[in-house]
Amino acid sequence: MSDHSDARSRFLRLHDALRTRICMLDYPPGTRLSEETLAAEFGTSRTPLRRVLARLEDEGLVISQHGVGTIVTDVDAEEMARTYDLRRELAGLVGRLSPVPVSDEIIKEAADFLDAGKILLKQPDTRALAELNMDYFHFGTSLTNNLALREMSERLYYRTARIWLTATPRLDLAEETAIFVSELRDSFQALVARDGQAAADVRRAHISLCIARLNRHMA
């Protein structure tokens, strides 16, 4: 009943696919996306695809220029730092604005994330880490019933997701994985204690630390 609309579900599918490719650097900044090529790949015409690209442009992931092309945006270090500042604050708000009561289901999910992280420790992989991080982020926003807060957090997340991946080559993958797993562990313990605010604070603190690491390796 929710996805009865064929057009809407296709739109969401294409949007998600392209957004993931951009955030995972399958399309690095500067890549020119051809409407016709993409339309052919997804088996549709340019018209529906243009709507997807328009939304990606609204979200700041691409920019279309008449006669030139649709180009994946570059990440401006200064603006990304500001965006991270806001993301940090929103992460803290998840614990205060309409937090969902911590259920056994939620604790189970957190445990699963921790297990997945531990596996990654033994076999480090940049992309797998990035994907797990993305899934875990969605789990984090699901801890509030404030829809607007979820929406804004996700919007900002996707805008900054690439910066970490671009910096990764200069960072230590094993170290980054270890740091992430320790966040999962802290978060899990907070949730076991049924303390949603503590879980949000864990997240907030780790975003702060991430900002610091990025600053250190940028300058």
Partner DNA sequence: AGAATTCATGTTGTGCACAACCTTTACAGC
Partner DNA sequence: GCTGTAAAGGTTGTGCACAACATGAATTCT
Residue window 3-32: x/- pattern of binding to DNA, with contact defined by CB under 7 A: -x-xx--x---------------------x
Contact 143, 201 (CB under 8 A): no
* Interaction of residue 60 with DNA, rule CB under 7 A: no
Report how far residue 90's alpha carbon sits from residue 83's, in angstroms, rounded to the nearest whole number. Answer: 11
The interface mask with DNA, positions 190-219, x = CB under 7 A, is ------------------------------
Across the beta sheet with 32-33, what order do the strands follow? Answer: 32-33, 69-72, 62-65
Q: How far is CA 92 from CA 16, 98, 150, in A?
A: 26, 12, 12
The answer to whether 106 touches 143, Cβ cutoff 8 Å, is yes
x/- map, 7-26, a second copy, by CB under 8 A: x-------------------
CB atoms within 10 A of CB 140: 21
Q: Is 100 in the site for a second copy (CB under 8 A)?
A: no
Binding site for a second copy (CB under 8 A): 5, 7, 50-51, 54-55, 58, 65-66, 79, 82-83, 85-86, 89, 93, 97-98, 145-149, 152, 155-156, 159
Binding site for DNA (CB under 7 A): 4, 6-7, 10, 32-36, 44-48, 50-51, 64-70
